[in-house]
Structure 1
Amino acid sequence: MGTVVRFAGARQVEVVEAGDEALAPGSVRVRTLYSGISAGTELTAFRGTNPYLTRIWDEERRLFVAGTEATSYPLAGWGYSEVGVVTEVSADVLGRPGVPAVDDVVWGIWGHRSEAVLPASKLDDHVVPAGLDPLAATFARVGSVALNAVLAADVNLGETAVVLGQGVIGLLATRLATLSGARVIACDAIPVRLAKAVELGAVAAVDVTTADVAELARSATGGRGADVAVELSGSTRALHEAIRSVGVGGRVVAAGFYQGEAVGLRLGEEFHHNRVELVCSQIGGPPPRLAGRWDQDRMNRTFLRLAAEGAVDPVGLVTHRVRVAEAAAAYELLDRRPAEALQVVLDYTED
């Protein structure tokens, strides 16, 4: 009998038993090792602010619409950063190219559950690269979110980039933008995050509670302003500061998951007068100009390759490994005391 983490209601986390699932044809059974908690998307479900809880996403029309069939509590198995060991492969796909074998360590998305039966196609070529710590592989999806934002920024060698929000994804974006040749100004309100950003290559770290990001960006660029800014905190006030920080014709990537109304976003000011380009980055797809060459799979694999090569150290962002039985405390930590944690990982090896 396995277990699954679920939200019984807003800010109510429980670990419940999950029934055994038969191994269907064309499928693979995986025993989970680690599962990373997203401090962005998942916390919106934990807090009850996720738009899917009040509206329905119409995939065909690409609109949120009112309806009585909106997602509701309990919500089981949220999570998109899993690593596990293959324990069984159905006979009809055993040995097929790309399908992992028994005892292979694989990465993928199956939520916070101790065991999962997945279509083999979902794990095609998802074996963790040789020599890579399985913990690092829990960052495949998170890393691709950061990479997608940097690709959308279209940052060029020698340009100045402001990255607002130095949580896990923001820190990864800071590192990836630095690898792309940018001079990164990292912004946050939490000192430990700013110190980590400097470790990852930021040329400056700005405490947004005591400094004016836009003024500092201009001081660092001879008055011109940053070339690009990436907003990853999910705060619309921070998005406004991102807009203020870039120069005329600058590009701002809105990559945070914004909740509620856009308080503090004043589009009649710098956005209008500096003719700022505002771009949305969302993990559902790469920037349109790259769609012919990039997709979600390439972003995942690129990030894992960079980790395997040592260009990025995601394991260094793991501050807490928590037993699954203590999942409720893990979510409370991220919700109430975010300054105390970066990446929190549920550890199934201890149960």
Structure 2
Amino acid sequence: MTNFQQHPQATAYWTVGQEKGELRSVDLAVPGPGEALVRTLFSGISKGTEMVVHKARVPECVAERMAAPHQEGSFPSPVKFGYLSVGVVEDGPAEWKGRTVFCLYPHQDRYIVPVDSLTLVPGDVPAARAVLTGTVETAVNALWEAGPRLGDRVAVIGAGMVGGMVATLLRTFPLQRLQLIDVDPAKRAFAEALGVEFSHPDDAAKDCDIVIHCSASQEGLERSLQLVGDEGDIIEMSWYADRKVTIPLGEDFHARRLSIRASQVGAVARARRHRRTSADRLELAVSLLRDPVFDTFLTGTSPFAELPDVVQQLADGRLDALCHVIEYPQNNT
């Protein structure tokens, strides 16, 4: 039994202006049929996308498409945005009570959602690690889009959160070659922790079957065109938001019949869309987190009360992180 009746409100993080966020009280209703009340344990900051929102850089033409599943408000602000939440079901259908779950929900200490929005976290996956489920899902979708084959030569450009996640999944594939590429030599230690070969862009091997681009930079995309082999595929995972990007399509792009395809997690990749649902994809993603190598991506923890300052520190570079974890107080029941 919960004390929900004595606590009809929750606290949530809202972006209320350009580079301005705050914690706000929000009203909670009583869970209805098929709904669950979740008490949050941890949430993760998806640095790339959430910094775009924090800096008010979501283009108006894609604002509706880029909305998170349980977002409130609208871009640029005020908006309640986020999608890496792990908690415990306190109220709802009997079979869900007490279960640890992942949900694509913003940063909020309690929330009510339909149970079909929840993904069960396996007992052997730590709750803090489970915040990575949404990013693993993004990487799974990209690999379904790319379709790597036995003996392929693959490059992943950009050793950040998404690029590192893609490389981590690919390291178990029977590839001939896999390189994680970044301009920052300090990323070599990160790649080694993942068990993946590291390379600076200038030294990277060419004639790749697939290049997966995750650096969100014009230079990285240009290098992708140079590293991919004839008639090869470039999978573009970067979101440039309102930035303009120029690439040299007037060089050998046309002559070598290269392909650039976008991968975005909002829809299941075409190669699996008729046989997998988004829920199937999430279940696969959380199951992959049994591997402790994913703890490498968890690079810091802060209490929920400090979230507005943490977001600003990430935005201005004072805090360097892959996935920064927000921990919620456990005496809020």
* TM-score of Structure 1 vs Structure 2, range by shorter chain: 0.7 to 0.9
Q: Counterpart of 1:302?
A: 284
Contact persistence 1:198–1:205 (CA under 8 A): no
CA distance in 1, matches of 2:171, 2:244: 30
Contact persistence 1:236–1:258 (CA under 8 A): no
Q: How does 1:19-38 map to 2 (within 5 A)?
A: 19-38=27-46
CA distance in 1, matches of 2:185, 2:311: 21
Structure 2 CA distance for partners of 1:338 and 1:250, relative to 1, 3 Å: farther
Match of 1:13 among 17, 21, 34: 21
Contact persistence 2:83–2:105 (CA under 8 A): yes
Match of 2:140 among 144, 147, 158: 147
CA distance in 1, matches of 2:285, 2:235: 19
CA distance in 2, matches of 1:248, 1:142: 30
Q: SS at the partner of 1:5?
A: strand
Structure 2 CA distance for partners of 1:12 and 1:261, relative to 1, 3 Å: closer
CA distance in 2, matches of 1:73, 1:339: 24
| TM-score normalised according to structure 2 size | 0.87
Q: SS at the partner of 2:241?
A: coil
Report the CA distance between 1:251 and its aligned residue.
0.6
CA distance in 2, matches of 1:350, 1:22: 21
Amino acid across the alignment from 2:299 = T
CA distance in 1, matches of 2:126, 2:264: 27
Contact persistence 1:39–1:334 (CA under 8 A): yes
Q: How does 1:252-331 map to 2 (within 5 A)?
A: 252-308=234-290, 310=291, 313-331=293-311
CA distance in 2, matches of 1:7, 1:58: 17
Contact persistence 1:197–1:205 (CA under 8 A): no
Match of 1:248 among 226, 230, 235: 230
CA distance in 1, matches of 2:276, 2:62: 29
Q: What's the Cα RMSD here? A: 2.3
| TM-score normalised according to structure 1 size | 0.83
Does 1:195 pair with 2:189? yes
Q: Counterpart of 1:174?
A: 167
Does 1:48 pair with 2:51? no
User: Structure 2: where are the runs of 5+ without partners?
Assistant: 1-8, 67-72
Structure 2 CA distance for partners of 1:242 and 1:262, relative to 1, 3 Å: farther
What is the aligned-residue identity percentage? Answer: 25
Report the CA distance between 1:242 and its aligned residue.
1.0
Amino acid across the alignment from 1:103 = G
Match of 2:90 among 87, 91, 109: 87
CA distance in 2, matches of 1:326, 1:70: 23
Does 1:131 pair with 2:99? no
CA distance in 1, matches of 2:279, 2:253: 34
Count the aligned residue pairs: 316
CA distance in 1, matches of 2:288, 2:19: 35
CA distance in 1, matches of 2:241, 2:247: 13
Amino acid across the alignment from 2:37 = R
CA distance in 1, matches of 2:275, 2:166: 20
